[in-house]
Amino acid sequence: MPRAARPGGTLDLTQVSPRGRATSEMDSDLQQRLVALFQRTAATVPAYRAFLDSHGVDAASVVDGTGFARLPLVTKENYHQRYSLPQRCRDGDLGACDLIAVSSGSTGTPTFWPRSAADEAAATRRFEQVLVHGFDAAQRRTLAVVCFPLGTWVGGLYTLSCLRGLAAELAMTIVAPGNNKAEILRVVPELGSHFDQVVLFGYPPFLKDVIDTGLREGVDWSRYAVKLVCAGEVFSEQWRDLMGKRAGLDPVHDVAALYGTADGGVLGNETPLSVRTRRFLAEHPAAARELFGGQRLPTLMQYNPADRFFETVDGTLVFTADSGVPLIRYHLADDGGVIPHERMVEFCRAHGFEPDEETGPDLPFVFVFGRSIHAVSVFGANVYPETVSLGLERAEISEWVTGKFVLEAWEDADRNRLLRITVELGPDEANTVERTRLVANAVRDELVTHNSEYANYVPVERHVPHVELRPMGDPDYFPVGVKHRYTR
């Protein structure tokens, strides 16, 4: 039985100025496209029609950007968990979609996300921007190695599918060992010498493990002009520098993060411009706090409003996009915000940094802290994984840990509230009292320096966290083959 034609089309904003303005400041062309997508979704998606009815919204009354901005936010709880999967598709037809992926379930129960090949076009453009404009893949023969887990989970197959869409246009060949480290370390030395560069796609801690294991096994990564494309979590500039040193790559031009979700695909990506800007802000924390309004340094990326429309609501990100399950004002629960291109350039220049020295796309910026649920609270101070990572990335520590750890708010035998950090050792590395003390003091120093809540809320005598070192692959904290969670 032939597949039914997919009604409607993707949100087309290709003629819209990509400067990233608030909804109230949108030009009429963008307003019209957003309203048209909303109206089409309200008319053809049974679940969304019922959702609007439950909130007392008359779809016909939404005719401009002001009306659009008043629409209720869609979440997993009030929408995906309330309405059946087919009802969330256009015309209630799940069969009109080509592929179903599964989210990682970071907030609990995994969610199914159907999509069609047409939905991958926007994500493919983000990969293209990284590969072509960042890595010069149009001119250099490229081996793309997909190191995300394969199977129903979204990362591996989604990446593979988007890269297949680009391979015919670029001098690129793809191999997909997934997160099988032994297979990655087999195929790269075997195939890498036949290409001008090798690009590894994966989660940051896993790619670090691949690089470190390869070094122990005698792999000279610099032979293969390695590049890294990461997704899934925030990493520090120290981590980027560490990978540059170990893999023989340029931290600015050879490492790019993607902002990817199962819900909306790839929403944004790092560019050399955004990386240079973030590295400047990492060295000027007062300016970073002024710009981002927080203690942490977020991932900083650029995005194209032609593909995804972002809003900031109460310090969190909301986006609108067409897909197998169309999403109108979908609340990502990611802490972050949007900065127009002009404002970013003006801010940088006012603080002594000239961003235009590096050619970059004239696109708005999106910054992402990640989800606040991924923090733990001690004495009212939120402790975030990215700050703890700074301690583990110090030169005197990074050689014998993998970079993985678990944060817990813990009570000792006397019911004293403490920050507990369980750290994964590298293979065959010893668990010693001196190493435990070194990690505890390094993390304490980073927390006191970068987290004013921790420095002021937590009593000084409790600044040093309780640290436990565990062997690689510890089944209780670091099970092999499972997406790592930094908090519990």
The CA distance from 209 to 73, in Å, is: 39
Q: Report the percentage of the chain scoring pLDDT > 90.
A: 58
The answer to whether 408 and 422 have CB atoms below 8 angstroms apart is yes
Region of residue 199 (phi > 0: left; psi between -120 and 50: alpha; otherwise: beta): beta
- pTM here? 0.78
Look at 52-56, 271-275, 303-307 and tell me which has the smallest mean pLDDT: 303-307
Q: What is the C-alpha separation between 65 and 58, in angstroms, rounded?
A: 15
Tell me the mean pLDDT in the region 97-111: 66
Q: What is the β-pairing status of strands 99-102 and 112-115? A: antiparallel
Q: Which residues of 196-222 are buried (b: 16+ CB within 10 A; e: fewer)?
A: bbbbbbbbbbbbbbbbbbbeeeebebe
Sorting pLDDT into bands at 50, 70 and 90, what band is 305? confident
Alpha helices of 143-261 — where are they, by DSSP H? 154-167, 181-191, 204-216, 237-247
**What CATH code is assigned to 376-470?**
3.30.300
Question: 142-146 and 197-202 as β-strands: parallel, antiparallel, unpaired?
Answer: parallel
Residue 350 confidence class, pLDDT cut points 50, 70, 90: very high
Closest to 312 measured CA to CA, from 293, 296, 324, 329: 329
308, pLDDT greater than 90: no
Q: pLDDT digit string (tens) for 122-145?
A: 889 999 999 998 999 999 999 999
145-163 residues labelled b (16+ CB within 10 A) or e (exposed): bbbbbbeebbbbbbbbbbb
Give the tokens for residue 207.
């790619």
Average pLDDT over residues 228-232: 90
State pLDDT tens for residues 424-478: 999 999 999 999 999 999 999 999 988 877 887 777 888 999 999 999 999 999 9
Report the pLDDT value the prediction gives residue 265, as an integer from 0 to 100: 82
- Out of 3.30.300.90, 3.20.20.70, 3.20.10.10, 3.40.50.2300, the CATH code matching 117-373 is 3.40.50.2300
Residue 5, pLDDT > 50, answer: no
Band the pLDDT of 19: cuts 50, 70, 90. very low
Q: Where are the domains of the chain?
A: 117-373, 376-470
